[in-house]
Amino acid sequence: MSRPRVRLVVTADDFGYCPRRDEGIVEAFLAGAVTSVSLLVNGAATESAAELARRHSIPTGLHANLSEGRPVGPARRGASSLLGPEGFFLGKMGFREAVAAGDVDLPQVREELEAQLSCFRELLGRAPTHVDGHQHVHVLPGGQTPSWA
């Protein structure tokens, strides 16, 4: 009896964070050590990373981000439960604490994630191969899974 075929998927996240990191990720992909990447659509090097993904036909997913940098959705234009006073996301622990305290407006989370998905589609011209979370923000305190997940 033959054994089922197993395929190991190694995903490099934070693609688009900065050019040097992206160069290393592409080198790892071309060497066969990485099989896919997850793109931060609000990263400093997002556009060049998207170009690298297209050029090298790298399977690319969305690295959903609610903890670092600035939003790409409607929250960037005003007050939001997702942002601190300077207009940046609350940080990994700040986001978790805000969720645990009930201070995060879930419709604002949905708007931001939908905006990130839209931005991804604009950058790459297609849907992501997968979606994962930057700094594990998709794992909420107490194992809660919100209705938008």
Domain boundaries, the chain: 11-135
- 140, pLDDT greater than 70: no
CA distance 146 to 17: 27
Mean of the pLDDT values across residues 132-143? 72
Are 134 and 67 in contact by the 8 Å Cβ rule? The answer is yes
13 is annotated as an active-site residue: yes
Query: CB-side exposure of 8: number of CA atoms within 13 Å?
Result: 4
Each residue's pLDDT tens digit, 75-123: 888 789 999 999 999 999 999 899 989 999 989 999 999 999 999 999 9
Percent above pLDDT 70 for the chain? 91
Across the chain, mean pLDDT equals 91
Which CATH superfamily, name and number, covers 11-135?
Glycoside hydrolase/deacetylase (3.20.20.370)
Choose, from 13, 14, 22, 132, the residue flagged as catalytic. Answer: 13
Give yes or no for residue 149 having a pLDDT over 60: no
- Other CB atoms within a 10 A radius of the CB of residue 149 amount to 12
pLDDT exceeds 90 at position 137: no
Strand partners, 11: 36
Q: Residue 146: which pLDDT band, with cuts at 50, 70 and 90? A: very low
**Separation in Å, CA 102 to CA 59, 117, 130, 135:** 36, 25, 28, 20
